[in-house]
Amino acid sequence: MSRPQLTAREQSSAASQSRGSASQLLPGKLPHNQAHNHDAAVHRASTQRRLIVNADDFGGSEEINEAVIRAFQEGVLTSASLMVTGPAAEQAVKLAKENPGLAVGIHLVTVVGRSVLPHSEIPTLVDEDGNFSNNPVLAGLKYFFSPRARLELRKELAAQFARFQSTGLQLSHIDGHLHLHVHPVIFNAALDLGAKYGCSHMRVPVEERRLALEFDRTNILQKSIFTLLFGGLARYMKRKLRKRGFTFSTRVYGNLQSGRMTEGYFLYALDNLAAGTSEIYFHPAIYADDKLLNSDECQASIEFEALTSTKVKDKIQTLGIRLINYSDLDARS
């Protein structure tokens, strides 16, 4: 079955209507939770919490770049993660320099994207056009078990860090496309490279399964597996990060709700922030009004609207949440 298509204008209208009530988006959210969330919000309002609001895939396209900059200028976005090999990376760098308040980190690409190095230097990793595998599981197994792949991977990651440095941007933080930076081989290489390039902040994707399921009970098995997998890797990462003097946010929201990030979820997450410092990340984009959008593009449009939502801005102000970026983190994470 083909994916439904809407114009950007129709999608914007539909998104606004659907987000008028969070319950319309949450098949598993019960009425009593609304009262519970309100009480929690009132209780926490007196305690200031800090929140990083990040956009991934900066440089992935001009549509993504426009959404990132507008969400920073008009919304609540504080940070973005740059794909140095993205088709629109050069434009992203230019825009970042024109908006110096936007913190920019590196979004390491090791699957579903292009390499810095040519195929001749890393033939185990990419095809002749420099494209990584589109299968994260198979790629992850190769990176773990193949000595040659591990060697080539370290070379490519070093090249991506060097490419970022060549932009002249200050490196805010380190994360990875599809979170593959949590892979032990990639993580350890990124840890060394971060230290080399003077960046001591890294995303550690860990969030509460309970919170995700109270909001939306779809994909229970996947969310449970992700919680176990990323939870184990997070413990490993945190031990090594602390030993090396790196800092990170206590919670990161978005992984368990990937592909379903909305204004409703954003508001729900804000009401339920339990940690002193958290991050929530999105994949926004803006498209021409007459463009037919597939489901992924519709979702990207919805995520942009969440980042510029008046309700979200008001909620952040009401709860006294302080918007920060990775450079504001300290050793107490």
DSSP string across 131-171: BBPS-HHHHHHHHHH-HHHHHHHHHHHHHHHHHHHHTT--E
pLDDT given at position 92: 98
* Residues in the chain, overall count: 333
Q: Where are the domains of the chain?
A: 6-328
* Mean of pLDDT values over 53-70: 98
How many whole angstroms separate alpha carbon 79 and alpha carbon 26?
A: 27
150-175 pLDDT tens trace: 999 999 999 999 999 999 999 999 99
Residue 261's nearest CA partner among 201, 206, 216, 229 is 216
Fold entry, domain 6-328: TIM Barrel (3.20.20)
For the chain, percent of residues with pLDDT exceeding 90: 71
Token pair, residue 274, equals: 């339990």
Taking a C-beta distance cutoff of 8 angstroms, is the pair 58, 80 a contact? yes
Helix or strand or coil: residue 262?
coil
How many whole angstroms separate alpha carbon 159 and alpha carbon 26?
A: 43
pTM for the model stands at 0.83
DSSP string across 57-122: EETS-HHHHHHHHHHHHHSS--EEEE-TTSTTHHHHHHHHHH-TTSEEEEEE-SSSSB-SS-TTT-
207-236 pLDDT tens trace: 777 777 777 777 777 777 777 777 778 899
